[in-house]
């Protein structure tokens, strides 16, 4: 069994992991995303999502809401709130349950057209690329190319189970040997992603990313490391995420 599949299979219990950033691969119903998995195994975390203005923590992240890593049943303030809700009504659905997430490095191979002037990337939408960039440059003759950028993928069991099934197919095997297309349809609670493996192929990482491509890999363990309980409580109480962590907003 591969390390990827083994990690998915062994992740049945909550882990004290998680933190979110801005360099996550874009998976959207607006376009089809294509990725190449770069890690032998994903990191596993459990995450609570607190919506904007939720009645339990209305001020969370300065009122904007956000996802929080579960700090463990005995120490997580969101788990404590869930427990109090259950003690009042065992059948209640008014809880902020944790979701298991898997995080790993991927090479984003999604086709884009790149503006020759401002270098803005344009995704295909409804079967076509824009004919003109926002900066005014004509894009009609610009050919689409893979983005070939290392990014983070963080997804739930529905998608990683599809990934795991590919490794079990003899003609496919190790996820790092072929691209996977993520065909996303629908919106909201009806959104659904179907993963489609492509033929095996080699990617020259030095050619498409650079000689130092390994240094561009994200430290996934660092990314999914939990915040302290003090920081979580401060953010839930109304302080801004970036203020609590002592850094400015990431505007990239």
pLDDT tens digits, one per residue of 30-88: 888 999 999 999 999 999 999 999 999 999 999 999 999 899 988 999 999 999 999 99
Contacts for 248 with CB less than 8 Å, ≥ 6 apart: 242
| Segments of the chain scoring below 70 in pLDDT | 11-22, 247-252
Threshold 0.85, pTM exceeds: no
Tokens of 141: 């003759």
Give me the pLDDT at residue 191, please: 87
Give me the pLDDT at residue 247, please: 61
By C-alpha distance, which of 96, 4, 87, 83 is closest to 43?
Answer: 4
User: What does the DSSP assignment read for 17-55?
Assistant: -----S-B---BTTB-EEEEE--SS-EEEEEEEE-TT-T
Give me the pLDDT at residue 251, please: 37
Spell 144-157 as b/e; 16+ CB within 10 A means b: eebbbbbbbbbbee
Give me the pLDDT at residue 11, please: 65
Q: pLDDT tens-digit profile of 82-93?
A: 999 999 999 999
Q: How far is CA 90 from CA 49, 82, 94, 98, in A?
A: 21, 10, 10, 17
CB contact at 8 A, 14 and 70: yes
State the Rg of the chain over Cα.
Answer: 20
CB contact at 8 A, 162 and 153: no
Tokens 């303030």 sit at which residue?
77
CB contact at 8 A, 144 and 74: no
């Amino acid at each position: 069994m591969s390390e990827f599949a083994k990690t998915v299979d062994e992740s049945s219990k909550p882990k004290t992991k998680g933190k979110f950033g801005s360099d996550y691969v874009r998976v959207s119903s607006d376009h089809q995303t294509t990725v190449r998995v770069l890690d032998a195994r994903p990191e596993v975390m459990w995450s609570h999502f607190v919506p904007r203005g939720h009645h339990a923590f209305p001020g969370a992240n300065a009122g904007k809401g956000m996802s929080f890593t579960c700090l463990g049943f005995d120490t997580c303030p969101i788990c404590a709130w869930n427990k109090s809700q259950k003690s009042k009504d065992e059948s209640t659905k008014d809880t902020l349950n944790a979701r298991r997430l898997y995080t790993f490095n991927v090479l984003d191979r999604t086709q884009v057209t790149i503006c020759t002037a401002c270098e803005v990337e344009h995704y295909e939408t409804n079967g076509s690329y824009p004919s003109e960039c926002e900066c005014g440059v004509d894009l009609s003759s610009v050919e689409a190319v893979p983005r070939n950028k290392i990014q983070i993928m963080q997804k739930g069991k529905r998608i990683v189970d599809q990934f795991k099934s590919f490794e079990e197919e003899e003609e496919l095997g190790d996820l790092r040997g072929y691209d996977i297309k993520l065909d996303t349809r629908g919106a909201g609670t009806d959104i659904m992603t179907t993963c489609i493996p492509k033929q095996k192929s080699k990617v020259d990482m030095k050619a498409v990313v650079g000689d130092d491509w390994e240094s561009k890999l994200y430290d996934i363990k660092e990314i999914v490391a939990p915040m302290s309980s003090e920081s979580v409580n401060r953010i839930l109480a109304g302080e801004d995420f970036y203020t609590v962590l002592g850094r400015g907003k990431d505007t990239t």
